[in-house]
Structure formats: C-alpha cells, structure tokens
Amino acid sequence: MSTLTTPTTWEAEKVRMVNKASGAGRIAEQIGSAIVSGVYRPDQLVPGEIELSRRFQASRPVVREALKLLSAKGLIDSRKRAGTRARSREAWHMLDADVLAWRLKTGKAEPKFVFDLLQARTVIEPAAAAMAALNHTARTLKLIEAAFADMEVSVHDRALFVEPDIRFHRAILIATGNDFIAAFGALIETALGAFVRIASRHEGAPAPSVPLHRDILAAICRRDAEGARAAMLVLLNRTSRNAERNVVRQGSRKPKRH
C-alpha cells in the first residue's frame, strides 16, 4: 500500500530558491514586486506573454512559468480574451515567503506592513511559546537553546544577531509539535527581518532583548506554559513600542486599531 508524502520545509525552500534563481523566478519577482507595491492596481492589466518575453529576453515557456508562479501566489488572474490582471490584496497568499519578501522590499509599504506583522506575531507567538513549553522534546529544546547561545555570542553585532534570532523564534514554532503552527516560520522570518531593520534605528539594540529571550527559554525549559506565554508577550510588547517609536519618527502614523 503506497503512502502519500509531503515535501519537508527544507525541500520546499530548495524548490523556491531554484525557481527564484531561474528566468521564471526572476520575471515573477519583478512583476510580483510591482503588484504588491501598487504599480499595478487591482484588476489592472499586467504585461502579457509577448511583452514580457521582449522585456526580459525570455522564451514564451519561461514567461508562462513565471505567470504560473504569480497565479499560484494569488497575485494575478489570467483569462482568455480578458488578459492577465492583478488581483486585489485579499486574494494574495500573504504567508507565501516570496509575497512577504516582495512586500518588504518597498519602504512605502512599511508602516502598515510592520504593524500587521506585529499583530500577527502577538496572536501566534505567545500561544506557540506556551505549546512549546508543554510539547518540546529533547531535540527541539536543543534547537532553541543553541539559537539562544548564538544570540548571546553575537549580541553586540546587529548583522550577526539576525540569524540566531530568527532561528530562536522558528525553533519555538517547531517545538510546538504542530505542523501548521510550524508553517508560520516564513511569516516570523520576514517579521524579524523587518523589526531588526527598525531596531537598528536606535542605540543599544539588540542587547536589551537578550534577557527577554532568556526568560522565554527558561519558562519553556521548566515546562511553564503560562510563564512562556507571558514572557513572549513582554518581548513582543517591547518590540511593539520600539516599532511605534521608530516608524512614527520616520514620518508615518501608526495605523488605527479597530
């Protein structure tokens, strides 16, 4: 009896990187970035196969593959006789790693994007920390501990701090033991990339966040679900304050909460 297998996160990421490096991936990145940044408005025609082939010096099959990639991400809709049109924001696959990265490329989208990410993290990560406290194994706990140890080593180097910081938060998602929660890794990675860039606008970052990460780890180690949840909220509240201060300082208002 045969069984269905699903690609691992690593395999999926490998496929994504191969696509991105290909001609189709390059075209998809250019057009996708233009759509998420508002160059093409909802229901507006985007260049067709002939125009894209000419613009990118690519074959028609390569262009078709690029359009398929964009369609799979919810960014375009192609219909006979109606052409290929950009889709509205509601149709975008917001958790797709490429869509997240393309949204982050433009400073114009930063304020709303940053606060949307903050709200999403506040929903997901405290619950994930609590679940990780209850469900972690020796292996998944080691992943969190190793990431934190690397954060401590790189605490005075913002550039080096980013990678272990991302690993720390992704390891917590993995430690929940829930495949669907672990799939939010791309969101967390993009969010942390945005917040590290914002944090670099003020003195002292990222050192003050290290004790807060230590509190999360300690709670997870002692299987204190409520303690882990509370510690994660403290960290995210601090991140939120920094984001509000630094984003508003750049001349953008914090989006209103409804």
Rounded to the nearest 10 degrees, what angle do helices 49-56 and 23-36 cross at? 110
CATH number of the domain residue 128 falls in: 1.20.120.530
Give the model's pLDDT for residue 7.
Answer: 41
Please indicate, yes or no, if residue 101 is contained in any of the structural domains.
Answer: no
Between CA 253 and CA 258 the distance in angstroms is 15
Please indicate, yes or no, if residue 151 is contained in any of the structural domains.
Answer: yes
Q: How many distinct structural domains can be found in the chain?
A: 2
**Domain C-terminal end among 33, 56, 91:** 91
Between CA 199 and CA 194 the distance in angstroms is 9
Residues 6+ apart with CB under 8 A from 83: 45, 48
Say how far residue 219 (Cα) sits from the centre of its chain.
25
Domain hosting 26: range is 9-91
Between CA 243 and CA 4 the distance in angstroms is 44
**Domain C-terminal end among 59, 91, 123:** 91
Q: Do 66 and 156 share a domain, yes or no?
A: no
CATH number of the domain residue 74 falls in: 1.10.10.10
Q: Do 87 and 151 share a domain, yes or no?
A: no
pTM exceeds 0.75 for this model: no
Please indicate, yes or no, if residue 98 is contained in any of the structural domains.
Answer: no
The β-bridge partners of 103 are none
Q: Burial level of 8, CB count in 10 A (0-12/13-18/19+)?
A: exposed
Q: Do 13 and 125 share a domain, yes or no?
A: no
pLDDT in tens, the chain (258 residues): 333 333 444 445 544 544 444 689 999 999 999 999 899 999 999 998 999 999 999 999 999 999 999 999 999 998 887 889 999 999 999 888 888 888 877 655 467 777 888 898 999 999 999 999 999 999 999 999 999 999 999 988 888 888 999 999 999 999 999 999 998 887 788 777 766 666 555 566 688 899 999 999 999 999 999 999 999 999 999 888 877 776 655 544 555 544
